[in-house]
Structure 1
């Protein structure tokens, strides 16, 4: 279930309501004052239609394989559908976005992050071997979303993580690296978001980049994503019972255990193991030539 930290309609994307500073909106006056945004949100009470994900679905079906790897060369040769979707993201009216249920908002923001990441990769010719080889890709490069220039960090940290109490987004945001969760072959939608996030989390934690248990060595290792964003899980589950020997990671470990078979779940919750984080492979999540 999606848990929302703030029920303020996300007209906050218009910069006047959320400070997206070094990682977010470009300079210049915000198109709304707080009072104007409040009036707009009161008018937009009936949900308006969600953004058509058709062009983005066409991209994902065309260039993403069953393991979540991407044929970037093919996408670079024919980016028309991706650019069509990105253009629609830029033209999306904030009032329309604000009228949607929270699940639809989250789905749109995840899709935007992943689509912008794809565009950032194919903008380089030749394609870089790692997203980390693209200067400013997260903090400085801006993408048009609802008429505002936002960075990838702005979308993830200042909007998704700040405004929604939903740690499963970390199984859905794909930063184009081998150690990222797999990119889905379908767009996220509000109607299917719960199923999609559950499936994404299950797939991620069933993979060696999400969780690695070695019973013989007595170790449990998990993705560094759980370390980088460690505060998101206790915030979502503040009453998590301690895992023996691993109190600091209890909320994360209890979250992970929910998605694993009974034998692994019992091991994780029992606490009798050495805990560590997996190395992170930043090589591009590209299909083999």
Structure 2
């Protein structure tokens, strides 16, 4: 969820390219060269694209964590998690031991679900590694760009997972309703792990919950204003790429793809207001305070 400058254009993706990209990422992110070039001519490597489908990673340990420490508002009891991180660490160990070939055999939905879960699990671990727990994730030096987490046997940063894999390899802007960077203004942390079969339903539900909250959207009819999360500003290109022919919203042409996405999750009257364009538009201030439960 950490904002960054514009990224390279999306490539056409296959499981082989994605897994090769994972295997080449360093602490500073993915290499820019094609993964297939670096893999060419290596007869010792199996053809990942030809691997038979294998079972997804068991989300039970992560589900246990989310059920135990996340409340109905998506706030986290970090103190409780810090006292007993066993289930979280069990899941994180499984992420590190996951074979790239197994990941490559999954559907796109299963891959996206695993990567969202990994990002959220690693973020929780980064928070509780500090004693005392910091008041904001931004108070942890290098938390996005330098700290590495083991995923499929490779050390990846949170930025690499989000920007270099999820955003670059998949055309799914709803991930921004599911990736939670431990801040009050983030979307709510879901109390269950994401899974391939349920991913579409879960992402739709996350978007609905996020936009129904004051950190996602604020409409003031009396004042004639509409405000949405800065996440839509930071990653506007993801919605534009997903809906390149979005019809223009009068007066807000640059934000048309984002506003049309937002309108899908609103009651009819509010949706009509958003699409009508007769309002002053701005982005909500971002509150980076920790999304923790009150003592």
Aligned length: 278
Q: Distance in 1 between matches of 2:277 and 2:45?
A: 48
What residue is the counterpart of 1:138 in the other structure?
Answer: 144
Q: Distance in 2 between matches of 1:12 and 1:254?
A: 35
Q: Distance in 2 between matches of 1:220 and 1:175?
A: 24
What residue is the counterpart of 2:254 in the other structure?
Answer: 248
The CA RMSD measured in Å over matched residues stands at 1.8
Q: How much has 1:171 moved relative to structure 2?
A: 0.1
CA contact (8 A) 1:23 1:140 kept: no
Equivalences for 1:104-253 in 2 at 5 Å? 104-253=110-259
Cα 1:164/1:259, change in 2 over 3 Å: same
Q: Distance in 1 between matches of 2:54 and 2:176?
A: 27
Q: Distance in 2 between matches of 1:21 and 1:144?
A: 11
CA contact (8 A) 1:13 1:94 kept: no
CA contact (8 A) 2:27 2:157 kept: no
Alignment gaps of 5+ in structure 2:
1-10, 32-37
Structure 1 residue 7 corresponds to structure 2 residue 14:
yes
TM-score (norm 2): 0.90
Runs of 4+ in 1 over 3 A off after TM superposition: 13-16, 34-39
* 1:90 maps to which of 72, 93, 96: 96
Q: Distance in 1 between matches of 2:185 and 2:107?
A: 31
TM-score (norm 1): 0.92
Q: Distance in 2 between matches of 1:154 and 1:88?
A: 19
What residue is the counterpart of 2:4 in the other structure?
Answer: none
CA contact (8 A) 1:97 1:105 kept: yes
Alignment gaps of 5+ in structure 1:
26-31
